[in-house]
Amino acid sequence: MHRSEHSDGPAPAAAVANDFSGSASVVGQFGRVYGDVHFGAPLPVERPVPHQVPAGNRWFANRRLELAALDAAYDPAARGRVVLLTGGPGFGKTELVRHWSASAEGRFTGGELYLDLAATRSSAAVSTAVGDALAEGLLGLGVAEASLPTTLAARASMFRTRTATAPVLVVLDDVGEAAHVRSLIPTAPGSMVVATCGRRLEELVGLDGADLHVVEPLDAGHALELLTALCPAQVAAADPADVRMLVDLCGGVPIALRVAAARLRTDRGLRLVDLVEQVRADLGALALGEDTSVTAVLTATYRVLPADAQRVYRIFGAAEGLELTGPAVRDAIEATKDLNAD
């Protein structure tokens, strides 16, 4: 930078000139200057590293084979690796991913994103659900809301760019379509997508090369281990035959075991043998079909709720994708009051 010299008095316009050649990070042009001038390079903008996957439940039994399969699927040199975990509702797919992601956190220096597709998709079109999920992912990667592209294609392009420099783990919970996954695959080597789904999504496996792993119910031994960890005093006080019967009635389904244990821990007057009889009666009343063990345990629990709580339970059960929050529960309670008033 060169500034021509001139006196303190007015100078002819031709006597003042600023010339610059070469390269620099900061270039300034000034008229009269009084005092010192300080130049500083702009500070780099640090992007946040997201760690969004919720912590797993402290009561977790077995799943050694599934955890090993997820470890084996990770490849630090691979691009676009997708793993699909499928299984019935309540089988523990989400809990499995949460525990594995905690153990694998150091592998993904670009962070971990968690996107709940059940909450995102609701009854919206697939393209809208994917666009909303991309927006959530980009916000997690540090993109300002005002800078989010408005089109699905532009959001997908920005997502690929933002995930190109460091490996990222993307957990997609409860996906419904292969299209929910394709636009959310990070591009850096070592990145990985783990998606949970109630269906096998043959299209994602056959056409996109996703690894498929089926999550089964717990076997009798590990189901007993989980129930004992959840309510040790109640199990210890019960007849071992009744404990085995409750485990059998729950079908090895973790959510059914957790609900049964919650009943035993919160209702001090309820004996384990009494719960067995309640669940057995509800099972007998159900038509044959899938997940009857889960339904029977939930039904036995539902029966002991107050009438208002039962109505709120039904409202949330009928509303797909509705997030269970405090305001939503209050609105549901108010709705039941209005119905009662009518």
DSSP track, 65-129: HHHHHHHHH--TT-SSEEEEEE--TTSSHHHHHHHHHHHTGGG-TT-EEEEEHHHHHTTS-HHHH
What's phi and psi for 4, nearest 5 deg? -70, 145
The pLDDT of residue 286: 40
Question: Cα dist. 304→193, 308, 337 in Å?
Answer: 41, 12, 20
What's phi and psi for 212, nearest 5 deg? -110, 130
Whether the CB-CB separation of 70 and 153 falls below 8 Å is answered with no
| pTM, two decimal places | 0.72
Tokens 């998606």 belong to which residue? 195
- Residue 215, SS3? coil
Q: In what order do the strands lie in the sheet with 211-214?
A: 112-116, 169-173, 192-197, 81-86, 211-214
197: nearest Cα among 116, 316, 271, 137: 116
Element (H, E) at 158: helix 152-162
- Pairwise CA distance, residues 12 & 171, whole Å: 68
The pLDDT of residue 32: 75
Each of the 342 residues of the chain gets a pLDDT tens digit; together they read 444 444 455 555 555 666 777 666 667 777 777 777 766 656 556 677 999 999 988 888 889 999 999 999 999 999 989 999 999 888 899 999 999 999 987 899 999 999 998 876 555 577 788 999 999 999 999 999 999 999 999 999 999 999 999 999 999 999 988 888 999 999 999 999 999 998 888 888 887 889 999 999 999 999 999 999 999 999 999 999 999 999 998 888 898 899 889 889 988 888 999 999 888 876 654 444 445 555 555 565 555 566 766 666 565 555 555 555 566 666 666 665 555 554
Tokens 């529960």 belong to which residue? 329
Whether the CB-CB separation of 255 and 90 falls below 8 Å is answered with yes
Tokens 């903008």 belong to which residue? 45
193 beta partners: 82, 170
- Pairwise CA distance, residues 186 & 188, whole Å: 6
Size of the chain in residues? 342
- Pairwise CA distance, residues 314 & 300, whole Å: 15
- Pairwise CA distance, residues 69 & 194, whole Å: 12
Q: Record the tokens describing residue 146, joined without a space.
A: 């005002």
The pLDDT of residue 109: 95
The pLDDT of residue 26: 64
- Residue 2, SS3? strand
Amino acid at 268: R
- Pairwise CA distance, residues 287 & 201, whole Å: 27
- Pairwise CA distance, residues 275 & 210, whole Å: 42
